[in-house]
Structure 1
Amino acid sequence: MITGDQRVTAAAIAKELGLTGEVMEGTELATLDDATLAARINAIGVFARTAPEQKVRIVNALKTEGHIVAMTGDGVNDAPALKSADIGIAMGITGTDVAKEAATMILTDDNFATIVKAIEQGRCIYENMIKFIRFQLSTNIGAILTVASAPLLGMPVPFTAVQLLWINIIMDGPPAMSLGVDPGRTDSMTEAPRNPDTRILSLRRFGNLFTYGLTMAVGTLMVLYYGRQTGSFEHAATLAFNTFVLFQVFNVFNARSEQGSIFNRHFFANRFLWLAIFGVIALQILVIHWPPAERLFHTTALTQLDWLITGSVAASIVVLEELRKLFIGYPLKIGQ
């Protein structure tokens, strides 16, 4: 807390609010150089009788110590500190135009609780962006590896052009968009702020997505090989096409949960995702079993055994990822 009030008043209010740490007055602050202030900043909870220019020093000291700094203010003299902070927050009702101009965020209701809600919503949006990217990128990697590897292995390309369009537009689109409205994690506010320099597509994350894509390619090509050994090419290609589509259905659950098990309390929380999944499966059944669609997509009807085989192979992407989390990577968080 940074205030212009007297030390005794500031300490009393801080105690009422539950703020801990030392109380330092502006006169003492003025005697400290920037390095000393940065070294002591973590132990200080309240700054009393501070001058406007000292607010900037406090913000910079916190940033020097690696903190993500949000600064609230409403007056003209708060503008420099609002500008220096990672996130400057101005009051929308009582704030001056200068403070609003310097701020990154404006509280239209002047309610500090709104800041918490905004941060929680922002973290949810960021995580949903990551989910969308994980799902779309892994699907594209899988499609590229499948199409590129088939000729190298002496097999025909398993997908026609219209089937690739079907996969990219219809099969991927609705599930991917539904990830954008996935509910946020209940424990997201217990985590420290994300490093602003963190890359969305880190090497570890890309390696994980490449593994997803490789699993899709291997599974699809194995089914294609099996189909060619047991029936016509049209039947084999339909098996491969169906396997790859079902891979997307299962892969969307991997995209939802990067650090914990997919089998958590939010498994059924996103009704739009489940509507998209059921819609995708219904359309896929139509493409394979409705004669006009069969002619358009160059497919043939599959038996119940064929559906069981393609579904089981596609489900392997979830099984393998859950095993990776359990034995190699992040621990399973069933209750997350």
Structure 2
Amino acid sequence: KGRNAAIARDLGLAGEAHEGREVEGLDQAALADLVERTAVFARVAPEHKMRIVEALKARGHVVAMTGDGVNDAPALKTADIGVAMGITGTEVTKEAATLVLTDDNFATIVGAVKEGRTIYDNIVKFVRFQLSTNIGAILTVLGAPLFGLATPFTAIQILWVNIIMDGPPAMTLGVEPARHGIMDAPPRSSEAAILTGTRLLRLMLFGVLMAAGTLGTYAWGHAHGGHDYAVTLAFTTFVLFQFFNIFNARAEHGSAFNRQFFRNGKLWLALAAVVVLQVVVVHWGPAQAIFDTVSLTPQDWALSVAIASSTLLVEEARKWVAWLVLGGRQNRAGSD
């Protein structure tokens, strides 16, 4: 036992060291208390491994178990993530596992976890962007009659927004590189929802901003240039709202202007294509006939950009205030 504790200390494992025979006779509650303060269990039988895994799961831990022999199979099956050795592992172990290391290298697990966290992160980014865009579009279309306005979009314009923004730009969120510090976060609960209440409230805020900006632009355009001008201005503003909103989707908590701002080249190519295509739709004669648009002046474009960027600026301001409040709490906690 002392030798096991010494090896644990040499490896930097903080906690107690126990042997499998000490698990025998303990009820599940006592075992749960023991595993919480233990770093190493040595000389454990298959039933011990299984009970240790169950005790950890009962305390809300996400449990990974590695093994290569037949006696590891029950614990591998019980764990949240069973990891089997692909070279030295038995067929029974591989069947019981959820992950097989083809190179038998434990370092591969770290890479797999990072890849999995990155994929999940990117799924959340995609969902946040798509939902906020759809909420903005729905609120704009439904809100127009409430304010005595005509619908600011034609059917083909709505289809255009879905094609150019919900297409390539949204899909490039799926190839975002891993964010800084992604491996420092604790494991996510298996019951964690993608759409939490707080997240939905933020998406509603983005949707309300888009709807208010688009309807305000439409009303202003109708008063200063007529129906066709108002529709074009509102349509362009809504497309640009999506341009800026995608940066909100990329960074939920920290600032969007971080070290990864320019790292996704595919996203920037997609956004550049969106802007070019929108210019074509607004200024090219044949496209104007299809999309019911008229040419805009540089001042009109500047107005649309200024209004559309509000969704990013407001979110950055919210994050900044949250950072100040959180920093203040941390400082107070440190001084107490």
- TM-score, scaled to structure 2: 0.94
Instruction: Give the aligned partner of residue 270 of structure 1.
Output: 264
* Contact 2:65-2:81 within 8 A present in 1 as well: yes
How much has 1:12 moved relative to structure 2? 4.6
Q: Distance in 2 between matches of 1:211 and 1:186?
A: 26
Equivalent residue in structure 2 for 1:25, among 19, 29, 32 = 19
1:80-119 equivalences in 2 (<5 Å): 80-119=74-113
Instruction: Give the aligned partner of residue 196 of structure 1.
Output: 190
Provide the alpha-carbon RMSD of the alignment: 1.6
The answer to whether structure 1 residue 232 and structure 2 residue 253 are counterparts is: no
Instruction: Give the aligned partner of residue 274 of structure 2.
Output: 280
Instruction: Give the aligned partner of residue 332 of structure 2.
Output: none
How much has 1:146 moved relative to structure 2? 0.5
Instruction: Give the aligned partner of residue 251 of structure 1.
Output: 245
How much has 1:66 moved relative to structure 2? 1.7
Residue by residue over 1:100-126, the C-alpha shift from the partner in whole angstroms, topping out at 9 and shown as x without a partner, is 111111111100000000001100000
Instruction: Give the aligned partner of residue 46 of structure 2.
Output: 52
How much has 1:14 moved relative to structure 2? 2.6
Q: Distance in 1 between matches of 2:189 and 2:226?
A: 54
16-25 or 53-62: bigger deviation: 16-25
Q: Distance in 2 between matches of 1:74 and 1:207?
A: 47
Aligned-partner SS, 2:152: coil
Cα separation, partners in 2 of 1:330 and 1:260, compared to 1, 3 Å: farther
* Contact 1:325-1:331 within 8 A present in 2 as well: no
289-298 or 167-176: bigger deviation: 167-176
The answer to whether structure 1 residue 313 and structure 2 residue 307 are counterparts is: yes
Instruction: Give the aligned partner of residue 296 of structure 1.
Output: 290
How much has 1:9 moved relative to structure 2? 5.2
199-208 or 20-29: bigger deviation: 20-29
Any runs of at least 4 consecutive aligned residues in structure 1 with deviations exceeding 3 A, and if so which?
Answer: 7-13, 328-333
Question: Counterpart amino acid of 1:177?
Answer: M
Cα separation, partners in 2 of 1:331 and 1:163, compared to 1, 3 Å: farther
How much has 1:16 moved relative to structure 2? 3.5
How much has 1:13 moved relative to structure 2? 3.7
Instruction: Give the aligned partner of residue 78 of structure 1.
Output: 72
How much has 1:172 moved relative to structure 2? 2.5
Residue by residue over 1:43-73, the C-alpha shift from the partner in whole angstroms, topping out at 9 and shown as x without a partner, is 1111112111100011111112221100000
The answer to whether structure 1 residue 66 and structure 2 residue 92 are counterparts is: no
How much has 1:220 moved relative to structure 2? 0.3
Aligned-partner SS, 1:30: coil
Equivalent residue in structure 1 for 2:140, among 142, 146, 149 = 146
Q: Percent identity?
A: 58
Q: Distance in 2 between matches of 1:219 and 1:331?
A: 29
Q: Distance in 1 between matches of 2:324 and 2:181?
A: 16
How much has 1:291 moved relative to structure 2? 0.4
Q: Distance in 1 between matches of 2:7 and 2:165?
A: 57
Instruction: Give the aligned partner of residue 216 of structure 1.
Output: 210
Question: Counterpart amino acid of 2:139?
Answer: L
* Contact 1:288-1:299 within 8 A present in 2 as well: yes
Question: Counterpart amino acid of 1:69?
Answer: V
Question: Counterpart amino acid of 1:134?
Answer: R
Equivalent residue in structure 1 for 2:199, among 205, 214, 222 = 205
Cα separation, partners in 2 of 1:332 and 1:61, compared to 1, 3 Å: closer
* Contact 2:5-2:16 within 8 A present in 1 as well: no
How much has 1:8 moved relative to structure 2? 5.3
How much has 1:331 moved relative to structure 2? 7.0
Instruction: Give the aligned partner of residue 3 of structure 1.
Output: none
Aligned-partner SS, 1:31: coil
Q: Distance in 1 between matches of 2:164 and 2:21?
A: 66
* Contact 1:259-1:332 within 8 A present in 2 as well: no
Question: Counterpart amino acid of 2:104?
Answer: D
